[in-house]
Amino acid sequence: MMAVQASLGKNFIMNILLAASSLIFPLITYPYVSRILLPDGTGRVAFAVSVVSYFTMTASLGIPTYGIRACAGVRDDKKGLSQTVQEIFLINAAMTLLVCLVFALCLAFVPKFQDDRVLFLVCGISLLFNLVGMEWLYKALEQYQYITFRSIAFKALSVVLMFAMIRSQEDYLQYGFLTIFASVGSNIFNFFHARRYITFVPQRPYHLKRHLRPILILFALTVTTTIYTNLDTVMLGFLKDSETVGYYNAAVKIKELLATIVAGLGSVLLPRISYYIKNRQFEKFRELIRRSFAFVTVFAIPLCVYFIVMSDYSIDLFYGPAYENSVLPMRLILPTLICIGLTNTIGIQILVPTDREKLVVYSTCAGAVTDLILNAVLIPVLGASGAALGTLAAEIVVLLVQLWFIRGEIRSFCTLMQLKKILLALVPATVILLFLHTALHLHTFFMLCVTAAVFFPVYLVVLLLLRYKIKLRG
C-alpha cells in the first residue's frame, strides 16, 4: 500500500510536466507557424485534423478508456495481461481496417475532401499508427514517467522540424505532417517498448466477446464527447471558409492548452480511484474526489478570468495581428475551462469508476445535440463566435446534467464555502487586472508577464488570508 501511495505523487508530478510541455512547446511554435501560414493555412490543417479525428475515434471504439480498466485488473499476471492486450488489439485492428476503407471512399467521392486530398492523406497516417500505440496499456501500468519523457522527446523533435521545414505559406502540408508527427512517433516507440511488459506470442484461446459490450458503451461516450468538441471546427469548415476556421482554431488552441492543465489530474487519479472502489475503500475515494474538486476550482476559475481579460494580448503573442478576429471567440469559449474541469471530475472520476458510464453518455449526448443545433443556427450568422457560443452552451449543458445525476452526493465532495472564498479572492485580483489592462501599454510579452505577476499572486494571497486550504499531497 505504501508503494501505491508513493507512485500517486510521482505520477502527479509527471502529469504536471506533461501538461507543462503541452503549454511550452506550442508557445514556441504557434507564433512562428501562424505568421507564416496565416489563417487560411492553419485553418486548412485544423479542418483536416478535425475530420481525421472522427475516423480515429471510430477506429479506437472505447478502447482508450476500457483498455486502462481491463489491463489494470491483470497487470500483475504477464500471461493474462498479454492475452488481454492481444484480444483488445485484434478488435482494434479489425475496426481500423474498416475505418481506413471508409476513409479512402470519402477521399474519392466527397468534394470537400478532394480539394485537399494530399493533406487528408498525410493527416490520415495517424489512423494506422494509432492502432499500434496502445497508450492505454502504459496508463494501466501507471508508466507516467515513460509517457511523459517519451512525449516530451517527440514534441521537442517536432519543434525543431517545424522551424526547419515550414518556410512559406505553401508549407501547410509539412505542417499537417508535423502536427501528427509526435503522436505517430510515440505510437511506433510504444509498440516496440511494449515487449518489456507483454509477449506477442499468441495467447490462445481468445475471448473477444467479453470485451465488446463495455467497449461499445465507452465508444458511445467517446462519440458524443468527440462530436461536441470537434463538431464546431468541422461545421465551420463546411459552412464558412478556411480563414474562419483559422481564426476559431487559434482561440481553441489556447483554450485546449489551458484545459490540459485543468483536467490533467483526472488521468492520474482514474486508476487509483478504480483501485479504491474495487477494494471498497470509499473514504479514500471521497478524499481524492474532494482534492480533485478543490484543484479544479482553485486553478480553472482564475485561469479563465485572466485569459478572458488578456485575450487580445494572448492572441497577439501566439499568432500575431493577423488573428485579431480570434479575440472575441477566445473570450466566449474560455469559460468552458471551468466546465471541462468539473465534468472531468464528475464523469471520469466519479461516474465511470462506479460503473455509471451510461449517465456520462446521456450527459454528453445532451451536449452534442445542443452543440449541433446551436452551431447550425449561429455559425452562418456569427461565424467563429457562433461556434464558440455553441461549444460553451454544450459544455454548460453537460455539466448541469452531470450535477443532476450526483445531486445526492455532491455535498460530500465539495462545499459552497470553498467556492465563495475563490470568488472573493478573485474580486481584488480582477479589479487590479482590469486597471493594468487599461493603463499599461507595454510590449505584448511584457504585458502578459507583468499582469500575470500581479494577478495570480494577489489572488493567492487573498486566498491564504481567507484560510482556503487545498491538500494535494498523498
**Per-residue model confidence as pLDDT tens for the chain (474 residues):** 333 444 666 776 777 777 777 767 877 887 788 888 887 787 888 888 878 888 888 898 888 888 887 887 777 778 888 888 899 999 999 999 999 999 999 888 888 777 788 888 888 888 888 888 888 888 888 788 888 888 889 888 988 998 888 888 888 888 888 888 888 888 888 888 888 888 888 878 888 888 888 888 888 887 777 777 778 888 888 888 778 888 898 888 888 888 877 776 666 676 677 667 766 778 888 888 887 888 888 888 999 999 999 999 999 888 888 888 999 999 999 999 999 889 888 887 888 777 788 898 899 889 889 988 999 999 999 988 999 999 999 999 999 999 999 888 877 777 677 788 889 999 999 999 999 999 988 888 899 999 999 999 999 999 888 887 665 454
- The last residue of one of the domains, among 365, 384, 414, is 414
The total of other beta-carbon atoms located within 10 Å of residue 147's CB is 21
End-to-end CA distance of the chain: 12
Would you state the pLDDT for residue 397?
A: 94
Predicted pLDDT of residue 1: 36
How far apart are the C-alpha atoms of 52 and 46, rounded to whole Å? 10
Q: Does residue 338 sit in the same domain as residue 383?
A: yes
User: Is the same domain home to 361 and 291?
Assistant: yes
Say if residues 49 and 254 touch (Cβ distance below 8 Å). no
Going 296 to 468 to 455 to 473, the CA torsion angle's sign is negative
Same-domain check for residues 427 and 388: no
Reduce the DSSP state of residue 6 to 3 states and report it.
helix
Report the distance separating Cα 473 and Cα 75, nearest Å.
26
* pLDDT at res. 274: 67
Residue whose C-alpha is closest to residue 354's, from 405, 293, 415: 405
Do 136 and 191 meet the contact criterion of CB atoms below 8 Å apart?
no
Q: Which grid coordinates belong to 344? A: 472531468
Cβ-contact 372, 394 below 8 angstroms: no
Q: 145 Cβ partners below 8 Å, 6+ apart?
A: 10, 14
Domain boundary among the residues 414, 429, 448 is at 414
Proportion of the chain in helix, strand, coil states, percent, rounded to 5: 85, 0, 15
Domain boundary among 414, 435, 464: 414
Query: What DSSP string describes 155-222?
Result: HHHHHHHHHHH--STTTHHHHHHHHHHHHHHHHHHHHHHGGGT---S--PSP-THHHHHHHHHHHHHH
The C-alpha atoms of residue 185 and residue 147 are separated, in whole angstroms, by 12
Looking at the structure, tell me whether residues 76 and 141 fall in a common domain: yes
Supply the pLDDT for residue 265. 63
Q: How many CB atoms lie within 10 A of CB 5?
A: 12
Instruction: Please indicate, yes or no, whether residues 428 and 347 belong to a single structural domain of this protein.
Output: no
Mark whether 378 and 445 lie in a shared domain.
no
Whether 98 and 87 share a structural domain: yes
Whether 126 and 59 share a structural domain: yes
Residues 160 and 280 both lie in one domain: yes
Domain total of the chain: 2
Domain that holds residue 405: 2-414
Specify whether 342 is located in the same domain as 304.
yes
CA triple 408-414-420, angle to 5 deg:
125
Q: Compute the distance between CA of residue 245 and CA of residue 242 in angstroms, rounded to an integer.
A: 5
Q: Is the peptide bond before 205 cis (omega within 30 degrees of 0)?
A: yes
Query: Residue 187: which of 142, 140, 145, 150 has the closest Cα?
Result: 150
176 and 284 together in one domain: yes
C-alpha to C-alpha distance for 218 and 224, rounded to whole angstroms: 10
226 shares a domain with 83: yes
pTM flag (> 0.75): no
C-alpha cell at 421: 472564498
Q: Element (H or E) spanning 408, and its range?
A: none
- Cβ contacts of 362 within 8 Å, gap of 6 or more: 401, 405
Mutual angle of helices 2-60 and 172-193, in 10-degree steps: 130
CA-based radius of gyration for the chain: 22
